[in-house]
Chains A and B, each alone.
Chain A
Amino acid sequence: MKMEIVCAGVGGRGVLLASTILIETAIKAGFEAMASDEYGMSQRGGSVVSLVKIGDCKSPLIGRENADILLSFEESEFYRNLAFLKRGGMAIVNTRKGFLRDGIGNLLKERNIKCHFVNADDIASRKGSMQAANMAILGYFSYFKQGPYMLGAIEETIKEKTKGKFVEKNLEIFDAGYRYGEK
C-alpha cells in the first residue's frame, strides 16, 4: 500500500500533532511511514504543511498532483495546497461554508476529486476547546476508513500522543467529528 497525505493549516493549531497521529497510527498497523514538516519563521499564524507518506517510499516529500488526501485545517490553506491533490483524490476542508466557488468546484469535479466540508472549529468550540479542531478533522477523516485510519486505531494513538488532561476532551471532539460523518 502507498498513501500520500498533505496536512495543511496555520501555526499553533495542531497540524503537526495531527500528522504525528497519522504516522504513528500507520506504523502501529505495520506500515512504513514518514513525514516532512514545513513551518515558516514565526511561530503562530503562518502556513504549516506536513507531508505524510505511508508505505513504500524513500523520501517524505510529495510532488504536485500526487497526494491521495488533503486534510486542510483552515480553509485558505486548502486552496494554497490544492495542487498537491491527484485526480481521484479526496479532501477534507475545515470551513464555515459548505460549498466551493464555481470555477474551483467544476475543476475538482472534472478531476474527480471528492471534497468534504466540515465546520471543525464549530464542533470543537461547542465542546469547549476551539484549539482542538484538529481532532474533529481527524474524527471526520476516520469516518471514511482510508487505509489504516479506522476510528479505533486513531483513538488509540490519540490516547498515547496527547497529554494527560487533554486526552478526554480530544477524544470527545474526535468522536464528534466522526459522528458528523455519520450524519
Chain B
Amino acid sequence: MKDVNMEVMIGNYSIARGLVEAGLELAAAYPGTPSSEIIPGIIEFNKREHGHIHAEWSTNERCALEVAFGAASIGRKAACMMKQVGLNVAFPSFLGARRKKIKGGLVIICCDDPGPQSSQTEQDTRLIATLLNIPVLDPSSAKEAGDVAYYAMEYSYEHKVPVIVRSTHRVSHARENITLYQIGTRKVALNEGIGEAGVKGSRGQGVKGKRENGGHPNHSITQSLNHSSASSYPLSAKFGIVASGMSFSIAMDVIFELNLTQRIPIYKVIKVNPVDPDIYDFVDNAGRVLVLEETDSVLEAMIHRGNKVFGRRNGYVPGAGELTYDIIRGIIEQIVEEMGMEERTFFPDYSIEEALKEIRFPPRPPRLCAGCPHRASFFAMRYASPEAIFPGDIGCYTLGISMGAVDTCIDMGGGVNLASGFYNACNQDETFTPIIASIGDSTFFHAGLEPLYDATKTGKRFILVIMDNSTTAMTGMQPTPQTGMTADGVKTHSIKIEDMVRGFGIDFLKIIDPYSIPLMVETIREAHAYLVLDNHSAHKPAVIIARRECLLSAKGKHEALLDTINIEQDCIGCKSCIKLFDCPALIFNDEKRKVTVDEGLCTRCGMCLLVCAMKRPRKGQNK
C-alpha cells in the first residue's frame, strides 16, 4: 500500500522538498538547531531530481541571507535558512533587503526553538516579521511545512517581496509520510480559518494543502487567503480557539480527546502577517476566545479584544516555554470549567511522581559526550588555573559550564569580546587575573575573527582556547571552512585557523592534542607566564588551538587506552572523576560504592584515569 511517491521524512526535509519543487535555484544557510537539516535535504532532493540548485553552508547567517538576496535580486529563486537567533546575526541585511525590489523570489526559513531546547533563548520570528511587515507563514505540521515552503516561494516570486516561513522544532523534527510531486506541479492553497476539521474533528481536508482545487496563488499580500468559509460553523459559539503552528495541531487532538470537537470551533492561522481579516469575525462572533501560539503574543496582540481573550496577557497561557500537550489540555479544561460548559475530565495523577521519589535514577543533564576532547580541554583549563575567569561561547563546548570552565555565554563569538572586557575591567592595574576564553572552530569562523582581531589591535591580554574538532558537531557535523569540503561533499581549499591567527600578528600560538592533558595544562601555564611579561610583544592574546576530531567523526579511529587499566578494580569511591570530569559513562554504583563504567557509552579514551585519585598522571596514557 505504500505509495511510491510518499516518503517518511522530518519537517525540515519536507520544507526542502517544497522549495525544490517550487523551482529553487540557490540556497545558503548556517547550521543551527532546529533548522540544520534543510540544506542536506535540498542537496539530497536536487541530486535525485538531477537539478542544478546551488546549495552552500555560509560562514554565518548574514552571509547566507545576503548571498540569497543577491541571487533573488537578479531574478533567481533563492532561499536561506537559519535558527531563530541566527536572524539577529542577519538582521542588518534583513532590514535592508525588505524594502528593496527583488526580481526573483526570496524565502527566509527561520526555525524557532520554543522551550528553548537547544538555544540560549526563545525568540518569536513571527513577531519580528510582523513588526517589519514582512509576510510570515506558520505551518502546523511537517506535511504542511512543505506546502507552505512551496507556497512561500511562489508567493515571493510573484509579488517580489521576501517571505518568511517560521517553523518550530516540533514541526521541523516531526516525522510524517509526505507526498513527493514532480517539480513545479504541486498545487497549494493555504487552508486557513475554520476547516471542516474544526467541525468534524477528523483528520479532514480543512487543514491540509488543498491540492485538488489549488492553483497559483495570485492575490496581493493583503488579500485574503483561500480558506473554507466561516459560515460552515455556528457563528455564535460560546467559546472558540484561535491557534497557529504546532499549537493548532495539539489543540485539535486535545479537543478530540476531551470530546469537545462539536462544541469548540478552532480557527487556524497559517499566515500570521498579513492576518486574514476573517479572524475578527470569528472572534467577534464567539463568546470568549483562547489564543494558542508559540512563543510570543503575536495573534493575541493583533486580535486585541481585551479580556474577551484568554491568552498570555491575562495569564491563561504561560508567558514562555513550549506549549506542550499537557499545558494545552490543562488550559482548555480550566476555561471550559470556568465557563460552566463542562466538568473537568482529566485529572493528572501525581501519585506517579510520588512513587518515583523513592527511586534513584541517574539525572541526565546536557553533557559533553563520553570521550569528547572538549572535556579534556576544560579539565586542563580549570586544573591549570582554577581562579581564572572563563568566558565561554556557543556550541557543544557551552556544556563546559558543568565542569566549571565556562562562566559566560551570550551569543556566538561573544566569549572573545567578553574576555577583552574582562581584561580591561580586571587588569588595568596590571594585577593579572587570568582570563581563559574558549570557542569552537565553526563558531570562530562564524563570529570569532573580528573579536580576536579587535582584541589584538587594542592590546588585550588573555588566553583564547580554540577548540578545534574539525566539524560543527552540535548541529550535525557540517563541514567548517578548515575542512576544505563544500556542503555537498566536494573538495575545495581549506582555510586554516592558525594562518588566520598568525595573520593578526599573534605570536603565542600552540597547537595541542587535548587528550594530552598534562601538556595542555603546561601550555596554559606557559601562556599565562607569557601574558604577564613586561614586554610589549605580550600585549596581545595568547592562542591555544586544542585540536582533536569530534568523537562522532573519529569513531573507533583512535587507540583505546582504558584497556590497560581496570578502573573499577581500584576505585575507592571518592567520586572525584565524576565531579571533576563529568563523563556520562561514569556511573556511581550505590551498592558497590564504586564508580562503574557504562560499557555502551565509554569510548575507552582513558582520560578519566588522569583525574582518578588512585592513578598518577600519565599512567595508562601513552602520549
Using a CB–CB cutoff of 8 Å, the interface residues on chain A facing chain B are 10, 12-13, 19-20, 23-24, 27-30, 32-38, 40-47, 56-66, 75-76, 79-80, 82-83, 101, 103-104, 107, 111, 121, 130-131
Contact residue among B197, B256, B324 (Cβ-Cβ distance under 8 Å from A61): B324
Chain B, Cβ-Cβ closest to A101: B359
The docked-state distance in angstroms from the alpha carbon of A30 to that of B1 is 6
Supposing A20-B175, A27-B177 touch, asked if A42 and B358 sit within 8 A by C-beta, the answer is no
Residues of the A chain whose Cβ atoms lie less than 8 Å from the Cβ of B253: 57-59, 61
Chain A, Cβ-Cβ closest to B252: A58
Residues of the A chain whose Cβ atoms lie less than 8 Å from the Cβ of B197: 58
Contact segment of B67-75, B273-281, B348-356, B439-447: B348-356
Most chain B CB inside 10 Å of its own CB: which residue of A20, A58, A63, A79: A58
Contact segment of B360-368, B460-468, B559-567: B360-368
A41 & B599 in contact (Cβ 8 Å cutoff)? no
A45 & B349 in contact (Cβ 8 Å cutoff)? no
B170 & A75 in contact (Cβ 8 Å cutoff)? no
The docked-state distance in angstroms from the alpha carbon of A46 to that of B319 is 27
B581-623, CB under 8 A of A: which get 1 and which 0? 0001100000000000001110000000000000000000000
Question: Does B103 touch A at the CB level, under 8 Å?
Answer: no
- Chain B 143-200 interface residues, beta-carbon cutoff 8 Å to A: 170, 173-177, 197
B369 & A42 in contact (Cβ 8 Å cutoff)? yes
Contact residue among A61, A111, A130 (Cβ-Cβ distance under 8 Å from B325): A61
B366-394, CB under 8 A of A: which get 1 and which 0? 11111010000000000000000000000
Whole-angstrom distance between the Cβ of B276 and the nearest chain A Cβ? 21
The docked-state distance in angstroms from the alpha carbon of A30 to that of B177 is 11
Whole-angstrom distance between the Cβ of B94 and the nearest chain A Cβ? 27
Supposing A45-B585, A76-B362, A104-B356 touch, asked if A61 and B203 sit within 8 A by C-beta, the answer is no
B249 & A59 in contact (Cβ 8 Å cutoff)? yes
Residues of the A chain whose Cβ atoms lie less than 8 Å from the Cβ of B368: 42
Chain B, Cβ-Cβ closest to A75: B361
Question: Does B232 touch A at the CB level, under 8 Å?
Answer: no
- 7 A-B Cβ contacts within 8 A? A28-B2, A34-B177, A37-B174, A42-B369, A76-B362, A76-B364, A104-B355
Whole-angstrom distance between the Cβ of B177 and the nearest chain A Cβ? 5
Question: Does B424 touch A at the CB level, under 8 Å?
Answer: no
B329 & A63 in contact (Cβ 8 Å cutoff)? yes
Contact residue among A42, A61, A66, A75 (Cβ-Cβ distance under 8 Å from B366): A42
Contact residue among A10, A65, A79, A131 (Cβ-Cβ distance under 8 Å from B359): A79
Question: Does B257 touch A at the CB level, under 8 Å?
Answer: yes
Contact residue among B1, B140, B177, B364 (Cβ-Cβ distance under 8 Å from A47): B364
Chain A, Cβ-Cβ closest to B249: A59
The interface size bin for chain B is: 35 or more
B361 & A45 in contact (Cβ 8 Å cutoff)? no
Ranked 4 nearest A-B pairs via Cβ:
A45-B584, A76-B361, A59-B249, A63-B325
The docked-state distance in angstroms from the alpha carbon of A121 to that of B118 is 30
Contact residue among B117, B142, B207 (Cβ-Cβ distance under 8 Å from A34): B142
Contact residue among B8, B346, B551, B585 (Cβ-Cβ distance under 8 Å from A20): B8
Whole-angstrom distance between the Cβ of B15 and the nearest chain A Cβ? 16
Chain A, Cβ-Cβ closest to B598: A45
B325 & A59 in contact (Cβ 8 Å cutoff)? yes
B396 & A42 in contact (Cβ 8 Å cutoff)? yes
Chain A, Cβ-Cβ closest to B352: A83
B254-270, CB under 8 A of A: which get 1 and which 0? 10110000000000000
Residues of the B chain whose Cβ atoms lie less than 8 Å from the Cβ of A38: 117, 173
Whole-angstrom distance between the Cβ of A3 and the nearest chain B Cβ? 14
Question: Does B123 touch A at the CB level, under 8 Å?
Answer: no
Contact residue among A13, A63, A65, A80 (Cβ-Cβ distance under 8 Å from B349): A65
Whole-angstrom distance between the Cβ of A32 and the nearest chain B Cβ? 7
Supposing A46-B366, A58-B207, A103-B358 touch, asked if A35 and B174 sit within 8 A by C-beta, the answer is yes
Supposing A34-B176, A37-B173, A43-B473 touch, asked if A27 and B203 sit within 8 A by C-beta, the answer is no
Whole-angstrom distance between the Cβ of A115 and the nearest chain B Cβ? 13
Whole-angstrom distance between the Cβ of A108 and the nearest chain B Cβ? 9
Whole-angstrom distance between the Cβ of A2 and the nearest chain B Cβ? 10
Whole-angstrom distance between the Cβ of A60 and the nearest chain B Cβ? 5
A45 & B601 in contact (Cβ 8 Å cutoff)? yes
Residues of the B chain whose Cβ atoms lie less than 8 Å from the Cβ of A37: 173-175
The docked-state distance in angstroms from the alpha carbon of A24 to that of B372 is 34
Given contacts A59-B250, A61-B324, A104-B358, 17 further A-B contacts (CB under 8 A): A12-B600, A24-B8, A34-B142, A34-B174, A34-B175, A36-B170, A42-B372, A42-B396, A45-B369, A59-B325, A61-B325, A63-B257, A79-B361, A104-B355, A107-B352, A111-B349, A131-B600
Residues of the B chain whose Cβ atoms lie less than 8 Å from the Cβ of A79: 356, 359, 361
Supposing A36-B173, A59-B252 touch, asked if A64 and B361 sit within 8 A by C-beta, the answer is no
A28 & B1 in contact (Cβ 8 Å cutoff)? yes
Residues of the A chain whose Cβ atoms lie less than 8 Å from the Cβ of B244: none
The docked-state distance in angstroms from the alpha carbon of A31 to that of B362 is 37
B325 & A62 in contact (Cβ 8 Å cutoff)? yes
- Chain B 80-138 interface residues, beta-carbon cutoff 8 Å to A: 117-118
The docked-state distance in angstroms from the alpha carbon of A45 to that of B362 is 11
Most chain B CB inside 10 Å of its own CB: which residue of A43, A111, A130: A43
Question: Does B495 touch A at the CB level, under 8 Å?
Answer: no
Supposing A20-B8, A83-B352, A107-B355 touch, asked if A42 and B367 sit within 8 A by C-beta, the answer is yes
Whole-angstrom distance between the Cβ of B385 and the nearest chain A Cβ? 25
Question: Does B339 touch A at the CB level, under 8 Å?
Answer: no
Residues of the A chain whose Cβ atoms lie less than 8 Å from the Cβ of B410: none
A44 & B552 in contact (Cβ 8 Å cutoff)? yes
Supposing A103-B358, A104-B355 touch, asked if A40 and B202 sit within 8 A by C-beta, the answer is no
